[in-house]
Structure 1
Amino acid sequence: MQIHFIAIGGSAMHNLALALAHKGDMVTGSDDVIFEPSKSRLKAKGLLPESFGWYPEKIHEDLDAVILGMHAKEDNPELLKAQELGIKIYSYPEFLYEHSKDKTRVVIGGSHGKTTITSMILHVLNYHDREVDFMVGAQLEGFERMVHLTDHNDFMVLEGDEYLSSPIDRRPKFHLYKPNIALLSGIAWDHINVFPTFENYVEQFQIFVDSIVKGGSITYNEEDPEVKKVVEASENAIRKLPYTTPEYSIEDGTTFLETPEGPMPIEVFGKHNLSNLAGAKWICQNMGVDEDDFYEAIATFSGASKRLEKIAEGKTSVAYKDFAHSPSKVAATTKAVKEQYANRKLIACLELHTYSSFNPEFLKEYKGALDAADEAVIFYLPESVAIKKLKEVTPEQISEAFERNDLKIYTNATDFKDFVFGQDYGNSVLLLMSSGNYGGLDLNELKGKFSS
């Protein structure tokens, strides 16, 4: 097939482009800006556009399809040309469904945990040399790409994102996959620029559960009250398979999972990750992996990229960074790290970076999110608020929202860096949480603080 990507540089889009090129399709693409690592990865495979910008002449009748990324606008000149010529235009999720419509589709949904659960499933399958097609939202150890497509594999494992499909398709991505086997990990309000009320957000998960093919199954976290309510209220003719957090213990900084063969040390930690593990286990069993094989493989799983990633360690100190930014993720990650290192001081730093986190109403959702930390720090740049064309957010609003009187708040990148580098980390844990870059903080330089 000849396929053209409009906005090829996105994290998901460039991985799909690489996967199709690897499969043997002829791939071209355009974008107005492409950042690393997408730029280098596309260049290495000969897929980087010769120049940035939109070129309608790249759209011609010999194309079998155009794949449209969220970064493009509705009036994109290449999109308009494709519409004029009547070329088939797919959103990212539409194309993945089209590819997998004759396969067994396994879709992992939820406000939090979906990347980790999908990663766990793929790790276990890869460990046992079981080939599947897949799409996951993080780079995984042992995998060249975040997307892998074939004509012959029976299963397609998909991370089911609830964000919008494309500029001309406002449906959440996971509404398009029509899973045979599905999982729902948790529901906590997010993406308020698209789903302005909690009720509207929850409705998307109701639609997801109802989209599961008849006779299929939903594995769901029954410890999450919203998930339980949504799944149990669905009248879809599917099997409903609840899961709960398994028993575990912590000894000298190592988490042990209780198994039928006794306690087993694992590399991930935190109640939320043990819950994720339980969900992954049931999905793997639905895919034909027996329990013993699952445990053998999961013992070697060290986590998905950007999820509780250890960045430095000394004799009595350790530093982690995590992609957590929504209230539920921040709370779960902070509690997990404190539980794992109960006898060390926890310094938790959260960068407010997203559209939602600068909304005064949504900000209240962060109440108690950093309570597990011994020292809690917020960093944000007022210019980020201005760029998003939002009303000014004051330190007083933030302090009031978190309901923590000793909250330290930094609004300048240099001041935040001085704080981070000025700490004595003896018998301490530093936890950095953001979907941004902490104002350009040099994490390699930070390692020097933990080398002794």
Structure 2
Amino acid sequence: MNVHFIAIGGSAMHNLALALAHKGYQVTGSDDVIFEPSKGRLQAHGLLPEVFGWFPNKIHEGIDAVILGMHAKADNPELLKAQELGLTIYSYPEFLYEQSKNKTRVVIGGSHGKTTITSMVLHVLKYHEKEVDYMVGAQLEGFERMVHLTEDNDFMVLEGDEYLSSPVDRRPKFHLYQPNIALLSGIAWDHINVFPTLENYVEQFQIFVDSIVNGGSITYNEEDPAVVQVVEQSQNTIRKFPYRTPNYKVEDGKTLLDTPEGLMPIEIFGQHNLNNLAGAKWICQQMGVDEADFYEAIGTFKGASKRLEKLVQGNGKVAYKDFAHSPSKVKATTKAVKEQYPDKRLVAFLELHTYSSFNPEFLKEYEGSLAAADEAIVFYLPESVAIKKLEPVSTQQIKSAFKREDLKIYTNASSFREVVFQKNYDNTVALFMSSGNYGGLDLNAVKDLFG
């Protein structure tokens, strides 16, 4: 099969390209810019475009499928040529469904936790040598790619993202997968650039639950009222399995999970991650892994990339980084670190970086999200606000939104870098939270402060 990618350099897109090449497909692609690590990985497999840009002459009738990435625009020259020729054009999730329509599809959805839960499930299955197809939103230890496709495997495990499918398909990705087995971890308003109201956002999850195939199942977090309401309101003829955070305790900086065999030390920590673990256990059991085997495997799970990832520890000092940026994730992550290290001072560094986080109405959602931190510092670049063509956001607006009078706010990259490197970290945990890069802050250099 001959497949062409429009916008091949994206995190998800390049992983799909690698998976199809591994499967034996002929793969070509284009993009106007490609960054690392996508660039190096595509180059290593002979898939990096020779020249960046869009070239309609790459599109011909010998192409069996065109896969369109979100980075492309609706007037992309290659897309227009493909439409003119009447070629089959897929969005990323549409193509994944085509690859898995004869398999049992397991879809993990939710505003938060879906990458971690998907990663836990895949870790457990790999530990017990159970082969499955998959798509996950983070690079996992022991996995070569974030996407794996075969003809033979019975299951396909998919991280179910609620963001839009493509520039010409405005449906959320997880509406297209039609799960046999689904999970819903939590609902907290996000992506306000495409879901302008909370009601509109919640509706996407209602559609997701209703898209589960007849006789399928929904495993859901019964501690989230919004999730419970969505699941209970659904008239879909599916089985419903609630889960909740298991009992655990923290001793000497180690989390111990309560299991039928007694307390078991685990590598991950935080109430939100223990809640994720409970959901993953239900999913694994539905896929044929019994409870004892799940616990054996999950004890070795160290977390998904960029999710509460330990940067360095030494001399009574610890530093973590986390992808957390939405209010619910920031609150859960900050609380988790303070619970794990109750006797240490917690300094939280949060970068506001996304479209939603600069919206005055959405900013109010951050109230109390940094309450668990002993010292809270917010960084953002006014240039980022301007690039997104949004109204300027003042430091007073941010302070009012967080409802924290001692909140420190920095809007200059060099000033922020200075405060990070001059701070005394004795008996301290530093938590860096962002989906950006703090204006170019070198986290490897930060590690030296904790050596």
For 1:438, the equivalent position in structure 2 comes to 438
Give SS of 1:331's match.
helix
For 1:204, the equivalent position in structure 2 comes to 204
Matched, 1:395 2:395: yes
Is there any run of 5+ residues in structure 1 with no aligned partner, and where? none
Code of the residue aligned with 1:173 in structure 2: it is K
Q: Could you tell me how far apart the structure 2 residues matched to 1:388 and 1:204 are?
A: 24
Task: Please give the per-residue CA displacement for 1:335-371, whole angstroms capped at 9, x wherever unaligned.
Answer: 0000000000000010000000000000000000000
Q: Could you tell me how far apart the structure 2 residues matched to 1:444 and 1:197 are?
A: 39
For 2:414, the equivalent position in structure 1 comes to 414
1:424, CA displacement in angstroms? 1.1
For 1:359, the equivalent position in structure 2 comes to 359
1:317, CA displacement in angstroms? 0.6
Q: Could you tell me how far apart the structure 2 residues matched to 1:380 and 1:83 are?
A: 41
In the TM superposition, 1:311-350 aligns within 5 A as: 311-350=311-350
Give SS of 1:48's match.
coil
Give SS of 1:42's match.
helix
For 2:378, the equivalent position in structure 1 comes to 378
Give SS of 2:50's match.
coil
Task: Please give the per-residue CA displacement for 1:91-140, whole angstroms capped at 9, x wherever unaligned.
Answer: 00000000000000000000000000000000000000000000000000
Task: Please give the per-residue CA displacement for 1:283-304, whole angstroms capped at 9, x wherever unaligned.
Answer: 0000000000000000000000
Give SS of 1:102's match.
coil
For 2:191, the equivalent position in structure 1 comes to 191
Q: Could you tell me how far apart the structure 2 residues matched to 1:90 and 1:342 are?
A: 50
Q: Could you tell me how far apart the structure 2 residues matched to 1:419 and 1:310 are?
A: 21
Q: Could you tell me how far apart the structure 1 residues matched to 2:130 and 2:56 are?
A: 42
Task: Please give the per-residue CA displacement for 1:140-177, whole angstroms capped at 9, x wherever unaligned.
Answer: 00000000000000000000000000000000000000
Q: Could you tell me how far apart the structure 2 residues matched to 1:358 and 1:346 are?
A: 25
Q: Could you tell me how far apart the structure 1 residues matched to 2:65 and 2:81 are?
A: 13
Task: Please give the per-residue CA displacement for 1:60-107, whole angstroms capped at 9, x wherever unaligned.
Answer: 101100000000001101001100111100000000000000000000
For 1:141, the equivalent position in structure 2 comes to 141
For 1:102, the equivalent position in structure 2 comes to 102
Q: Could you tell me how far apart the structure 1 residues matched to 2:74 and 2:443 are?
A: 38
Give SS of 2:418's match.
helix
Q: Could you tell me how far apart the structure 2 residues matched to 1:96 and 1:90 are?
A: 9
Q: Could you tell me how far apart the structure 2 residues matched to 1:315 and 1:383 are?
A: 38
1:315, CA displacement in angstroms? 2.2
For 2:116, the equivalent position in structure 1 comes to 116
Code of the residue aligned with 1:295 in structure 2: it is Y
Task: Please give the per-residue CA displacement for 1:234-288, whole angstroms capped at 9, x wherever unaligned.
Answer: 0000000000000000000000000000000000000000000000000000000
For 2:221, the equivalent position in structure 1 comes to 221
For 1:254, the equivalent position in structure 2 comes to 254
Q: Could you tell me how far apart the structure 2 residues matched to 1:91 and 1:439 are?
A: 32
Matched, 1:307 2:279: no
Q: Could you tell me how far apart the structure 2 residues matched to 1:314 and 1:426 are?
A: 10
For 2:265, the equivalent position in structure 1 comes to 265
Segment drifting more, 189-198 vs 440-449: 440-449
For 2:127, the equivalent position in structure 1 comes to 127
Matched, 1:30 2:38: no
Give the share of equivalent positions with the same residue, in percent.
79
Code of the residue aligned with 1:238 in structure 2: it is I
Code of the residue aligned with 1:444 in structure 2: it is N
Give SS of 2:204's match.
helix
Q: Could you tell me how far apart the structure 2 residues matched to 1:291 and 1:142 are?
A: 23
Is there any run of 5+ residues in structure 2 with no aligned partner, and where? none
Give SS of 2:365's match.
helix
Q: Could you tell me how far apart the structure 2 residues matched to 1:448 and 1:189 are?
A: 37
Q: Could you tell me how far apart the structure 1 residues matched to 2:405 and 2:318 are?
A: 26
Code of the residue aligned with 2:11 in structure 1: it is S
Q: Could you tell me how far apart the structure 2 residues matched to 1:155 and 1:85 are?
A: 35
For 1:74, the equivalent position in structure 2 comes to 74
1:439, CA displacement in angstroms? 1.0
Code of the residue aligned with 2:109 in structure 1: it is G
Code of the residue aligned with 2:92 in structure 1: it is Y
Give SS of 2:122's match.
helix
Task: Please give the per-residue CA displacement for 1:187-222, whole angstroms capped at 9, x wherever unaligned.
Answer: 000000000000000000000000000000000000
Q: Could you tell me how far apart the structure 2 residues matched to 1:446 and 1:406 are?
A: 24
Task: Please give the per-residue CA displacement for 1:33-80, whole angstroms capped at 9, x wherever unaligned.
Answer: 000000000000000000000000110101100000000001101001
Give SS of 1:67's match.
strand
Give SS of 1:430's match.
strand
Q: Could you tell me how far apart the structure 2 residues matched to 1:257 and 1:383 are?
A: 45
Give SS of 2:213's match.
coil
Q: Could you tell me how far apart the structure 1 residues matched to 2:73 and 2:290 are?
A: 46
1:423, CA displacement in angstroms? 1.1
Q: Could you tell me how far apart the structure 2 residues matched to 1:431 and 1:138 are?
A: 20
Q: Calculate the TM-score normalised by the size of structure 1.
A: 1.00
Code of the residue aligned with 1:203 in structure 2: it is E
Q: Could you tell me how far apart the structure 2 residues matched to 1:335 and 1:410 are?
A: 23
Code of the residue aligned with 2:203 in structure 1: it is E
Over 4 Å off, 4+ runs: none
Matched, 1:285 2:279: no
Q: Could you tell me how far apart the structure 2 residues matched to 1:15 and 1:42 are?
A: 9
- RMSD of aligned Cα (Å): 0.4
Q: Could you tell me how far apart the structure 2 residues matched to 1:69 and 1:417 are?
A: 34
